[in-house]
Chain A
Amino acid sequence: MPPIVEVEGVTYTYPNAEEPALRDVTLTVDEGEFILLTGPSGCGKTTLCRCLNGLIPHFYSGEMEGEVRVLGLSTREHPPSELARYVGLIFQNPDNQIFSLTVEKEVAFGLENLGVERGEMRRRVDWALEVVGLSHLRHRLTNELSGGEKQRLAIASILAMRPRVIVLDEPTSFLDPKAAERLFEILDLLNREYGMTIILIEHRVDLAVRYVDRVVVMDGGLVIVDASPREAFTSPKTRAVGVAVPRVLELSERLMKRGIPLKRLSLTPEELLEELQGRLRGDGGWSGGEVKVEGAEPIIEVIDVSYTYPNGVKALDGINLRIDRGEFVAIMGENGAGKTTLVKHFIGLLKPTEGRVLVDGVDISQVTVASLARKVGLVFQNPDDQLFAESVEEEIAFALRNFGYSEDVVAKRVDWALHLLDIEQYRGSSPFTLSGGERKRVALASVLAWDPEVVVLDEPTIGQDYAQKERLRHFLMQLRSQGKTTIIVTHDVEFVAECEPRIILMAEGRILADGPARRVLSDVEALEKASITPPEMVRVLRRLSPYGVPCDILDVEEAAKVIAGRFRG
């Protein structure tokens, strides 16, 4: 059988770009494969996706060399609208790929465009909704869906066209862990039951590695590794590029280094457990350890706060919370749990419907947002929602001028912030010309510039690749060591597991758990209620708890040490 997708020596340069985005890429995909495509931001993965359904060279001009064939059809000769029958593309932002007002009409959109007859269309729409589990929402308005539902809808509307290949470009970026897991289960089903070929770009490798059977790593427009997941993730080439590696793989490597004879390196908790089963000594359950937080001076106090939006949605329901000076806190919970609503109170963007919020002892209802902003720096999720100035320098100076600093102080602070985030070389550039990660750093600099006492970051890891996340983590550690109060709002479990902050777990406007990361992230019941999946280490260790292994360990090295200590062969 000929391969379903053939990419042959493709080199592509975007119009007005100096460097090619793809360099001599060759890749063949057989029908029924499930491929993970990964690599740092700007490595060319998205560009490659655009080649697969003819967006390149039809929608994007620029220079393309080489050939791409899908089911034998050359993408040069067949436009995307024609290739859409064979290759479905799903994008990162669910909102920017939904055109209709109701769910079932959206699923039908592609079929209507293809001119499919009504009876057949109805059958396919029903089937597609069934597969993604949205049948019960068929008449719902699309803008009332949650992010996860929207992304499933996007899949259904591609599915209805019955493509042979589905290409997804970071489909889970905006989703919380549970919704992401659900999405993967659907992809797995499509791959196994319906034999669909799936090509997936994804940063959540821990999750992806359970389902994929081949990994392609790109860097600088080149395919550098193309192998089975085990080979690909252990390859030194992959490691050198700086992409995330499944944590269980890292754990089994460290176990081997400690002399534990494992047959092979494991990729998932299940594989590792199978290896370790019956080979550990010790027994008896593990009783959770308790860490007490010492009280210090409070900087933020939330007292019996409830908040109801003007449309009647109760987003916060009786919140009590105290954050001390110098603490490092992560507020976690699924989308819609009330996390962002809560932090907006810290700077007075929202005022409680009931109860009081005190910042440094001052009731936020008594003062302006601008005066609170001096103490509490809030950096929003999407840097594009705030960048507007002609240059990076001006962008950073904006807030400083709003606060009325004199020009020489402004100049000094701008220099300091540029240096702090290592963006001095972009001083004169327009923020709009920078890459996503750089724009994020500019947004961060534009808030840190006035050195607020409290720094709040809303979903700082969304859309960030492994290296950028690592950089962010180091930066947060730096803030922490300087004694700055830092609060992050996130549903990125693995990121939090590595930072080990105090965690406040929220669901439906309430606080479910509050305590050190080790305790909260190993409290599987609370996590379940908050629709957060436990970190990989906890997944492994929990199953080993019959051997008396503590399951509140988040660090890979520590986990390896504990397991190795109980190994009896």
Chain B
Amino acid sequence: MSLFEGLRFSGGDTPIHRLDPRAKFVLTASIFTAAVLYFHLLPLLIIFLIQLPIVAAAKVWRGWLRTLRGGLYIAVLILVTNLISFYFYKGRVFTLEMVEYSLSMTLRFIVLVASFSLFFLTTSPDRLSLALEKLHVPYEFTFAFITAIRFVPVLAEEAQSIIDAQRARGLELERGGLLRRVRNYIPILLPLIVNSIRRSLELAEAMESRAFGAARERTNLYELEMGGLDYAVLMLSIALMAIAIYIRVFHPNLGVFFPSV
């Protein structure tokens, strides 16, 4: 769960937080693209390291590292499955190329998680939804997105209360074989679902009472305007992406230890 927890915006006000979500999105997208383009350790490592100064400037080390730690389990899984499948595919031999490739795939995953985490940790969903609105994404979509984020902590708290209440009635979640254990979760899931249905009805009533859908043209409390820094980041990100593509296409062997893969 900590993988997702690390993705949650938790406030903050640094130049990175203040960047226009659109500019930041392009930055994230360029890191993403670069990571997907490369199969080798050195370039991926560089892409990873590029993010460190941004994390430092945004002062989100804690959340960022927590996401990485959350992703560790999957990273190890990627490494092991890659190694094993190569091992059998290549006829039960280990080569350095295999190891590099497997490590690269793992690092790529980490880079992707890291860049997403950086984006969501430093972008308030309110501003993100505004950016989406500016990009003409239908409001119903952004509203659903915001509401989902809003209710994550509420649901988590409710799930905890339900678990506590059922344990107080002698429910032992870890008891029994696999099938029994799955069944053990019924007394937890049912109230959670019923409560959610009830809640959605109440929410709909409250939405009506707040004139949801009254005006054809919705307005927004905030205005999003690209400033100098935003344009700089935008340009830099596009340049980064261009360089990455250029090297990948014209110098595919730059920084490759074991070109045979």
- Residues of chain A touching chain B, judged by Cβ–Cβ distance below 8 Å, are 50, 53, 55, 58-59, 79-82, 84-85, 88-89, 91, 93, 95-102, 104-105, 108-118, 121-122, 125, 139, 141-143, 157-158, 161, 344, 347, 349, 368-370, 373-374, 377-380, 382, 384-388, 398-399, 402-403, 432, 446-447
Whether B221 contacts A143 by the Cβ 8 Å rule is no
Known: A104-B221, A111-B219, A143-B153. A349 touches B170 (CB 8 A): no
Whether A115 contacts B214 by the Cβ 8 Å rule is yes
Could you jot down 28 A-B contacts, CB within 8 Å?
A55-B208, A55-B209, A85-B211, A89-B209, A91-B206, A98-B150, A101-B125, A102-B126, A113-B211, A113-B213, A113-B218, A115-B215, A115-B219, A117-B219, A122-B221, A143-B153, A143-B154, A349-B164, A349-B167, A368-B172, A373-B170, A384-B195, A385-B161, A386-B165, A386-B166, A387-B191, A388-B186, A432-B194
With most chain B CB atoms within 10 A of its CB, the pick from A88, A91, A109, A121 is: A109
Given the complex, which residues of A lie within 8 Å of B202, measured CB to CB?
91, 93, 96-97
- Cα A97 to Cα B149 with chains together (Å): 15
Whether A112 contacts B154 by the Cβ 8 Å rule is no
Known: A118-B219, A118-B220, A385-B162. A402 touches B171 (CB 8 A): yes
Given the complex, which residues of B lie within 8 Å of A88, measured CB to CB?
209
- Cα A104 to Cα B222 with chains together (Å): 10
Whether A105 contacts B170 by the Cβ 8 Å rule is no
Given contacts A96-B203, A347-B168, A384-B198, could you give 6 more A-B pairs where the C-beta distance is less than 8 Å? A82-B214, A97-B203, A99-B150, A100-B126, A112-B221, A385-B158
**Interface residue? B216 (CB, 8 A):** yes
- Cα A367 to Cα B211 with chains together (Å): 53
Whether A402 contacts B221 by the Cβ 8 Å rule is no
Known: A85-B211, A91-B205, A100-B146. A370 touches B167 (CB 8 A): yes
**Interface residue? B187 (CB, 8 A):** yes
The 9 closest A-B pairs by CB, nearest first: A115-B215, A402-B170, A388-B190, A108-B221, A97-B206, A84-B211, A399-B169, A386-B165, A81-B214
Whether A80 contacts B208 by the Cβ 8 Å rule is yes
- Cα A377 to Cα B213 with chains together (Å): 47
CB contact between B167 and one of A104, A117, A373 (< 8 Å): that residue: A373
CB contact between A378 and one of B168, B204, B223 (< 8 Å): that residue: B168
- Cα A115 to Cα B214 with chains together (Å): 8
Known: A97-B202, A141-B11. A385 touches B211 (CB 8 A): no
- Cα A125 to Cα B206 with chains together (Å): 18
Encoded as 1 (CB less than 8 Å from any A CB) or 0, chain B from 142 to 153 comes to 010011011001
Given the complex, which residues of A lie within 8 Å of B220, measured CB to CB?
108, 112, 118
Q: What's the minimum C-beta distance from A445 to chain B, rounded to whole angstroms?
A: 12
- Cα A89 to Cα B162 with chains together (Å): 29
- Cα A121 to Cα B221 with chains together (Å): 7
Q: What's the minimum C-beta distance from A29 to chain B, rounded to whole angstroms?
A: 18
Given the complex, which residues of A lie within 8 Å of B166, measured CB to CB?
386
Q: What's the minimum C-beta distance from B24 to chain A, rounded to whole angstroms?
A: 17
Whether B190 contacts A99 by the Cβ 8 Å rule is no
Whether A84 contacts B210 by the Cβ 8 Å rule is yes
Given the complex, which residues of B lie within 8 Å of A161, measured CB to CB?
210-211
Q: Which residue of chain B has the shortest Cβ distance to A141 in the bound complex?
A: B11
With most chain A CB atoms within 10 A of its CB, the pick from B147, B149, B191 is: B191
For chain B, the count of residues having a C-beta within 8 Å of the partner chain is 55
Whether B211 contacts A110 by the Cβ 8 Å rule is yes
Given the complex, which residues of B lie within 8 Å of A98, measured CB to CB?
150
- Cα A91 to Cα B165 with chains together (Å): 25
Whether B205 contacts A369 by the Cβ 8 Å rule is no
Encoded as 1 (CB less than 8 Å from any A CB) or 0, chain B from 176 to 205 comes to 000000000011001100110011001111
Give the interface SS of chain A, mostly helix, strand, loop or mixed. Answer: helix
Q: Which residue of chain A has the shortest Cβ distance to B143 in the bound complex?
A: A99
Whether B205 contacts A55 by the Cβ 8 Å rule is yes
- Cα A497 to Cα B86 with chains together (Å): 74
- Cα A104 to Cα B9 with chains together (Å): 17
Whether A399 contacts B219 by the Cβ 8 Å rule is no
- Residues of chain B touching chain A, judged by Cβ–Cβ distance below 8 Å, are 9-11, 124-126, 143, 146-147, 149-150, 153-154, 158, 161-162, 164-172, 186-187, 190-191, 194-195, 198-199, 202-223
Q: What's the minimum C-beta distance from A79 to chain B, rounded to whole angstroms?
A: 8
Given the complex, which residues of B lie within 8 Å of A344, measured CB to CB?
164
Given the complex, which residues of B lie within 8 Å of A59, measured CB to CB?
204-205, 208
Given the complex, which residues of B lie within 8 Å of A118, measured CB to CB?
219-221, 223
Q: What's the minimum C-beta distance from A296 to chain B, rounded to whole angstroms?
A: 26
- Cα A398 to Cα B166 with chains together (Å): 9
Q: What's the minimum C-beta distance from B142 to chain A, rounded to whole angstroms?
A: 12
Q: Which residue of chain B has the shortest Cβ distance to A109 in the bound complex?
A: B210
- Cα A347 to Cα B167 with chains together (Å): 9
Known: A111-B219, A398-B187. A386 touches B169 (CB 8 A): yes
- Cα A109 to Cα B168 with chains together (Å): 40
- Cα A174 to Cα B171 with chains together (Å): 28
- Cα A387 to Cα B191 with chains together (Å): 6
Given the complex, which residues of B lie within 8 Å of A402, measured CB to CB?
169-172
Known: A384-B194, A386-B191. A369 touches B168 (CB 8 A): yes
Q: Which residue of chain B has the shortest Cβ distance to A443 in the bound complex?
A: B165
Whether B124 contacts A101 by the Cβ 8 Å rule is yes
- Cα A455 to Cα B151 with chains together (Å): 32
- Cα A377 to Cα B165 with chains together (Å): 10
Q: Which residue of chain B has the shortest Cβ distance to A386 in the bound complex?
A: B165
Given the complex, which residues of B lie within 8 Å of A81, measured CB to CB?
208, 211-214
Q: Which residue of chain B has the shortest Cβ distance to A447 in the bound complex?
A: B169
Q: Which residue of chain B has the shortest Cβ distance to A369 in the bound complex?
A: B167
Q: What's the minimum C-beta distance from A141 to chain B, rounded to whole angstroms?
A: 6
Whether A403 contacts B170 by the Cβ 8 Å rule is yes
Q: What's the minimum C-beta distance from A456 to chain B, rounded to whole angstroms?
A: 9
- Cα A109 to Cα B209 with chains together (Å): 11
Given the complex, which residues of B lie within 8 Å of A97, measured CB to CB?
202-203, 206, 209
- Cα A91 to Cα B125 with chains together (Å): 26
Whether A370 contacts B194 by the Cβ 8 Å rule is no
- Cα A110 to Cα B208 with chains together (Å): 10
Whether B207 contacts A99 by the Cβ 8 Å rule is yes
Given the complex, which residues of A lie within 8 Å of B214, measured CB to CB?
81-82, 84, 113-115
Given the complex, which residues of B lie within 8 Å of A99, measured CB to CB?
143, 146-147, 150, 203, 206-207, 210
With most chain A CB atoms within 10 A of its CB, the pick from B143, B206, B218 is: B206
CB contact between B168 and one of A58, A80, A368, A447 (< 8 Å): that residue: A447
- Cα A344 to Cα B165 with chains together (Å): 10
Q: What's the minimum C-beta distance from B198 to chain A, rounded to whole angstroms?
A: 7
- Cα A115 to Cα B213 with chains together (Å): 10
Known: A85-B211, A382-B161. A125 touches B221 (CB 8 A): yes
Q: What's the minimum C-beta distance from A540 to chain B, rounded to whole angstroms?
A: 38
Whether B164 contacts A380 by the Cβ 8 Å rule is yes
Whether B219 contacts A385 by the Cβ 8 Å rule is no
Q: What's the minimum C-beta distance from B140 to chain A, rounded to whole angstroms?
A: 12
Whether A386 contacts B162 by the Cβ 8 Å rule is yes
Q: What's the minimum C-beta distance from A355 to chain B, rounded to whole angstroms?
A: 21
Q: What's the minimum C-beta distance from B208 to chain A, rounded to whole angstroms?
A: 4
Given the complex, which residues of B lie within 8 Å of A91, measured CB to CB?
202, 205-206
Q: What's the minimum C-beta distance from B48 to chain A, rounded to whole angstroms?
A: 29
Q: Which residue of chain A has the shortest Cβ distance to B152 in the bound complex?
A: A143
Whether A370 contacts B209 by the Cβ 8 Å rule is no
Q: Which residue of chain A has the shortest Cβ distance to B198 in the bound complex?
A: A384
- Cα A95 to Cα B202 with chains together (Å): 10
